[in-house]
Amino acid sequence: MNNNTEVIAPFSQPEQLYAAVDLGSNSFHMVIVRVVAGSVHIIGKVKQKVRLAAGLDENMVLDELSLERGWKCLETFAERLQDIPLSNIKIVGTATLRLAANADVFIKKAEEILKHKLNVIDGVEEARQIYLGVAYTSANQGNSLVIDIGGASTEVIVGNDMTPIHLVSMNMGCVTFKERFFADGTTSEQNFEQAIKEAKSLLAPVIDDFISFDWQQCLGASGTPQAITEILVTQGISDAIRIDYLHNLKQQCIDCVTIDLLQIEGLTESRRAIFPSGLAILIALFEQLNIQEMQISGGALREGLIYGMLDNMQQNDRRLQTLEQCIEHFHIEPQHANRVKGIALSLFKQVQSQIQLGKVDCDAILMASAMLHEIGLHIEYKLHHQHGAYILSHLPMVGYTQQQRAGIKTLVECHRQEIKLGLFDAFHPEVRQALLVLVRVLRLSCLLSIRRKDNLLADFVLNISGEKWALTFPKGWLKSHPLIDAELANEKWQQHRVGWILECF
């Protein structure tokens, strides 16, 4: 035996850490990531409400209090940044530091604290970086309209995949609009109307340029859209942001009379003071740009900065990367995941020829649900559908919107055993209708692949008439496969209990 045999640790690669710091007009953010085998893992996030823009006076000079708030925050950032190579750090300032007459005073001391250069980027570059952050963390579905409402500026961008096509940055934000239109602390109809009118006025010169683009999805990046999404989720509404929700929230603000008394279920205390002003800007954007619905994106400016440093990152399908990483991390059998996916997509193709399902991205939701339906086996078998739903509730899925993640989680939870229709009640009626079709497809796909062998899969034809689905197999096939025949009989009963009809021949 050779006693000099060298033992090599399985994870001997040096750790690659990167950090991005975004000194925004409302909050200062720091995100730290670790890159392993081409995958990006967030290992640290810090966010502090600094409200730098609130310190601007009528001469655009930052007062001493706001300067001190900013420097104190950076002292906490500086300690963590000591562990990261200087070449892997990016620090940027945005709208308030563009506007402030004494920005140089803040920047000089900030660079001493951080021991790193601070770059104040212009509005166009900020919009570009925001778009890249959104694009890297969201799926490409043709042209996308991206909106970011910051503390002192609002960025609007139209792009396709990784390329921003048209972008603007406007001097309006939730902090500056609070100081202008809600300074008296009241959330009156008049204050809202004045803020909305001013936002529309600022948008007017650029509206035609954006309306001329045909976008397939609208994505909100952090800030106000994130706050509204959190409110909807807390209130049990798994849906995109829609204009009727915005008007309802506006009325709730008005009913509360003042910002100090503002109580909306799901609205965090840290967001309360600037929520009405951000809401007014978002209402103006929805109405001026004729936005039907907005999803929340997975990234914004700091993610754009991070990915911009990773020149070697592959720019392929972010959804596929997410699914592959989940399959590996949770030890899902890839062959079976692809087997169920294949059956599901084949079955759904027949469904699509017979049912109209609106604008819901059914293929993406169904594909992910099929490939991840066994994710809960990582915990145990008996209730693995419930364990899977729990995992997916807490799993960041790059490339999928929050609504899509909610749909995937719900389908996985309902892919076996009892059909719980109540799980779908939180979704918008159009989305709910689509998900109820997809769950029937997923359940059948899992059942038909129960023996986990490709050569045992049968050709089948699906005919749909209302709630009645009829599956026709080759003559004698069901009789020669008694296990699947028995499973289909049980599925008929489960569907019957919720008013659905399944027939098999």
CATH number at residue 397: 1.10.3210.10
344 with 464, same domain?
A: yes
* C-alpha span between 76 and 71 (Å, rounded): 9
State mean pLDDT over 412-438. 94
CA dihedral 484, 487, 493, 495 (to 10 degrees): -80
Is the pLDDT score of 128 beyond 70? yes
115 with 129, same domain?
A: no
Confidence of residue 169 (pLDDT cuts 50, 70, 90): very high
Pairing mode, strands 143-149 and 154-160 = antiparallel
Is the pLDDT score of 433 beyond 50? yes
425 with 480, same domain?
A: yes
Is the pLDDT score of 11 beyond 60? no
Is the pLDDT score of 410 beyond 60? yes
What is the reported pLDDT for 15?
57
291 with 162, same domain?
A: yes
What is the reported pLDDT for 311?
60
* C-alpha span between 439 and 370 (Å, rounded): 10
Among 240, 274, 304, the domain boundary falls at 304
Calculate the average pLDDT of the chain: 90
User: Token pair for residue 277?
Assistant: 């002003």
- Domain contains 206: yes
State mean pLDDT over 4-21. 59
Adjacency order of strands within the sheet including 461-465: 461-465, 468-472, 501-504
C-alpha to C-alpha distances, 104 to 48, 97, 115, 117, 441, nearest whole angstrom: 22, 9, 16, 13, 61
178 with 97, same domain?
A: no
144 with 245, same domain?
A: yes
Is the pLDDT score of 312 beyond 70? no
294 with 349, same domain?
A: no
Please state, as a whole number, how many other Cβ atoms lie within 10 Å of the Cβ of residue 212: 9
Question: For 137-164, what is each residue's pLDDT tens digit?
Answer: 887 668 899 999 999 999 999 999 888 9
Sequence length of the chain is 505
Per the structure, the count of domains in the chain is 3
Query: With b meaning 16 or more CB within 10 Å and e meaning fewer, what string describes 24-52?
Result: bbbbbbbbbbebeeebbeeeeeebbbbbb
State mean pLDDT over 44-52. 92
Question: For 347-362, what is each residue's pLDDT tens digit?
Answer: 999 999 999 887 788 9
Confidence of residue 10 (pLDDT cuts 50, 70, 90): very low
Question: For 226-283, what is each residue's pLDDT tens digit?
Answer: 999 999 989 888 789 999 999 999 999 999 999 999 999 999 998 999 999 999 999 9
- Domain contains 406: yes
Among 88, 121, 154, the domain boundary falls at 121
Which residues lie below 8 Å from residue 201, measured CB to CB, with a gap of 6+? Answer: none
Please state, as a whole number, how many other Cβ atoms lie within 10 Å of the Cβ of residue 395: 18
Listed residue (331, 436, 341) closest to 377, CA to CA: 331
* Structural domain containing residue 115: 16-121
145 with 285, same domain?
A: yes
User: Token pair for residue 321?
Assistant: 């990367």
- Is 369 within 8 Å of 435 (Cβ atoms)? no
298 with 172, same domain?
A: yes
133 with 282, same domain?
A: yes
> Angle, to 10 degrees, between the axis of helix 429-448 and the axis of helix 334-352?
130
What is the reported pLDDT for 18?
94
Listed residue (44, 26, 69, 433) closest to 224, CA to CA: 26
State mean pLDDT over 447-474. 89
- Is 296 within 8 Å of 238 (Cβ atoms)? no
C-alpha to C-alpha distances, 109 to 68, 75, 118, 119, nearest whole angstrom: 10, 11, 10, 13
Confidence of residue 7 (pLDDT cuts 50, 70, 90): very low
Is the pLDDT score of 9 beyond 60? no
Is the pLDDT score of 12 beyond 50? no
User: Token pair for residue 121?
Assistant: 């980027």
Q: What is the pTM of this model?
A: 0.80
52 with 169, same domain?
A: no
